[in-house]
Each structure stands twice: as C-alpha cells, then as structure tokens.
C-alpha cells in the first residue's frame, strides 16, 4: 500500500500542469528590466525610516549599529509598520523560514488574521483583527538549546527568516 501511494504521488507530480509566470511589462508591452524592479518588494531601511516615527527609527538604528537586542517597544513598532507595508502589497500570510541542522529547510506559515472572541449575554461575538507583533517578527527557532539537555548551537545561529506570501 505504501509503495502504491509513493508511486501515485510521483505520477501526480509529473502530471501537474505547468505554471506560467509572465514577465512584467510596460504599458507598451516592452519588458521591464530587472534593474528597474530590483528591491521593490524589500522592506528596506528607507522604507523603515518612512514608516516609523523618527524617535523609534533612531532607536532602531542605534540598536542595529550597537549590536544590541531590539527592545519590545521598537520591535512592535517595526512589526506594525511591516504588516501595513506587506498588506498594502497584498500579503495575507507570512512564513518563518529557517534552516535546522538537518541539512534541509523548514518553515512555519501563519496569517495576520486573528480572531478575538468575546462572550456576551447574547452569545459569542467574534471580531477579526489583523495582528503582527514584534515577537512574531523576531521569532527564532529553538534547536533544543532551550531544553535542559541543551543544544548543539545557540538559538541565534538557527538562521531564521521571515518571508511574505503575496499571492
């Protein structure tokens, strides 16, 4: 049975329809050069400076240059700015992508949408909220270093990245 399932899985993969991705073009149909598109969907320092209040941005730069950890207030402000920036580009979900010590990659998918339940005399009321916190932005992957047995490396070496899903 397991062998048949593997075979079916391979056949389904081979028979999957081809995905066509169109190259971006100008209104006249000419292709847009890669150099013109480069970095347009990167939340760069310039984007951060435009999105954050000046004192928060200055605190972020000080922490970045001083190799200090990001404090919760600054991380939450950046996370809010990142969420707004990403949702303005059509993102609804994000992926925390990391490389465990298994010579492979792993990822955790999550959505901005959070449902908040409130119980009233009339029953439960559910309110949808778009949320992305500083702790989610800076999420790291424990590689057993938080367990009593310890781990082979410290958590900051787990190489985690946050990726935005805009399609």
**Is 90 exceeded by the pLDDT of residue 65?**
no
C-alpha span between 65 and 68 (Å, rounded) = 8
Mean pLDDT for the stretch of residues 1-20 = 85
Q: What is the spatial distance between Cα 146 and Cα 3, in angstroms, rounded to a whole number?
A: 39
User: What is the spatial distance between Cα 94 and Cα 110, in angstroms, rounded to a whole number?
Assistant: 6
At 167, the pLDDT band (50, 70, 90 cuts) reads: very low
Distance of CA 159 to the CA centre of its chain: 13
pLDDT range class, residue 157, cuts 50, 70, 90:
low
Rg (C-alpha) for the chain, rounded Å, is 21
Question: How far apart (Å, rounded) are the C-alpha atoms in residues 16 and 100?
Answer: 30
Domain ranges, ordered by start, for the chain: 42-165
DSSP state of 158: G
* pLDDT over 70, % of the chain: 78
Which among 90, 89, 71 has a CA at the least distance from the CA of 137?
71
More confident residue, 50 or 3: 50
Task: Yes or no: say if 99 and 87 are a contact pair by the CB < 8 Å rule.
Answer: no
Given a cut of 90, whether residue 26 has pLDDT beyond it is: yes
Which whole number is the average pLDDT over 133-159?
57
Confidence (pLDDT) at 41: 87
CA distances (Å), origin 85, targets 62, 75, 82, 97, 119: 23, 15, 5, 20, 33
Residue scoring higher pLDDT (159 or 52): 52
Q: What is the mean pLDDT of residues 157-165?
A: 50
- Torsion from C-alpha of 88, 91, 134, 148, nearest 10 degrees: -170
In whole angstroms, how far apart are CA 44 and each of 38, 50, 151?
Answer: 12, 10, 33
Query: pLDDT tens digits, residue range 115-134?
Result: 999 999 999 999 999 999 88
Residue range 92-106: average pLDDT? 74
């Amino acid at each position: 049975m397991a062998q048949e399932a593997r075979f079916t899985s391979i056949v389904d993969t081979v028979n999957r329809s081809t995905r066509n991705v169109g190259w971006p073009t100008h209104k006249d149909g000419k292709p847009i050069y890669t150099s013109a598109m480069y970095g347009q969907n990167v939340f760069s320092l310039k984007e951060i400076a435009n999105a954050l209040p000046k004192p928060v941005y200055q605190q972020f730069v000080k922490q970045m240059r001083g190799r200090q950890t990001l404090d919760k207030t600054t991380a939450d402000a950046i996370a809010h700015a990142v969420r707004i920036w990403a949702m303005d580009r059509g993102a609804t979900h994000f992926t925390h992508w990391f490389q465990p010590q298994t010579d492979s990659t792993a990822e955790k998918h999550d959505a901005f949408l959070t449902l908040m339940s409130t119980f009233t005399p009339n029953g439960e009321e559910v309110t949808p909220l778009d949320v992305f916190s500083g702790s989610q932005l800076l999420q790291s992957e424990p590689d057993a270093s938080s367990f009593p047995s310890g781990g082979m490396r410290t958590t900051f070496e787990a190489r985690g990245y946050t990726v935005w899903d805009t399609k």
